[in-house]
Amino acid sequence: MRSQRLGDGAPTQHASAHAAADPGQARPPRALITAQLLLNALALGMAYALVALGFVLALNAAGAVNFAHGDLVVLGGAAAVVIGLWTGLPGPLLLPFVALALGIAGIVAARVAILPLVARPPEATFVATIALAAMIEQGLTVTMDAAPRTAPPLLGTGAVEIAGITLGRQPIAIVVVGATLVVAMWFLLERTQVGRRMRAVSADRHMARAVGIPVARYVVLSLALAGALAGIAGFLLGHQFLVAPTQGAGHMLKAYIAVAIGGWGSVPGALLGALGIGLFETFVSAAVGDAWASAALYLAVLAVLVLRPQGLFGEPVGRRA
């Protein structure tokens, strides 16, 4: 279960149920369990947020969905496994190498499957990125022998005690790293000339080209950042949920759901949508199990789209430029 895997050192649901059945065994305080679940939910949501943020960057830059984005997340986890085995580096030193490797993969994706088709209908990019996703999945299947692998932990396994509450090291690391990257991306997009040019390209590439912005360069930069974020997310998720070649579609689905809930193309909306998915999945899974949590998530998404088709933070279709 997600709540079990994310909470290194935290009591699991089964342990809680056993304690309830055995009067002689002390039950963990409800506040302790809630704090652990909340940390796990924030960690899962923050990892999803990095996936969704990269998805939106690629979407806004390319003007079409990059269907290989989920497989870039898996590739990031695989890169963490391989580089970790080769170098023996600890998690904090391994992280920039994974980001660099997947940033390069994002550039390759831009040069191979997106920029050559920029003048074609979006469907051409869809097909090209789906083909790229299949190539990544099959390549990982061959090299990994279809066997799931475990990525190294970012800050070690086990737990720490904070204010009398035992919390897992890995979830804390995911929250800290994820929050730092989200703030850094906000600063880049909102407070720098590079970020303003990236947003100008995503808003209207023809006008951006007319005022002298090198559009292709900023599209490549956006795809490189999207790849780096995907790789870091894959590294962070790969310790709890393992790394398997077929996980790409699942990561892609979560990013798509976060964007649909938050508002198509909205960066803040995607981030909040991803955090909402993490909170929803963790607490509902703890209550009724993973299968019911997944079903409830899809029903909630349908309800949001029926009541507000543009998403929670998107503009109505009639008001878009």
Residue 97 CA: distances (Å) to CA of 20, 241, 313:
46, 21, 34
What are the structure tokens assigned to 189, written together? Answer: 């997009």
pLDDT values of the chain reduced to their tens digit, one per residue, 321 residues:
344 445 454 434 434 444 444 444 455 567 667 778 898 899 999 999 999 999 999 988 888 889 999 999 999 999 999 999 999 999 999 999 999 999 999 999 999 998 888 778 888 888 999 999 999 999 999 988 767 899 999 887 777 877 667 788 889 999 999 999 999 999 999 999 999 999 999 888 889 999 999 999 999 999 999 999 999 999 999 988 889 999 999 999 999 899 888 887 788 888 999 999 999 888 888 888 888 888 888 898 888 888 888 777 765 544 443
pLDDT at 162: 74
| Cα–Cα distance for residue pair 9/240, rounded to 1 Å | 13
pTM for this model (two decimals): 0.85
pLDDT at 305: 84
pLDDT at 144: 82
pLDDT at 180: 95
pLDDT at 123: 86
Cβ–Cβ < 8 Å for 302, 251: no
pLDDT at 311: 79
pLDDT at 292: 86
pLDDT at 168: 84
Q: Do β-strands 159-162 and 165-168 pair in parallel, antiparallel, or remain unpaired?
A: antiparallel
Task: Indicate the burial class of 240 (C-beta count within 10 angstroms; 0-12, 13-18, 19 or more).
Answer: buried
pLDDT at 8: 52
pLDDT at 288: 85
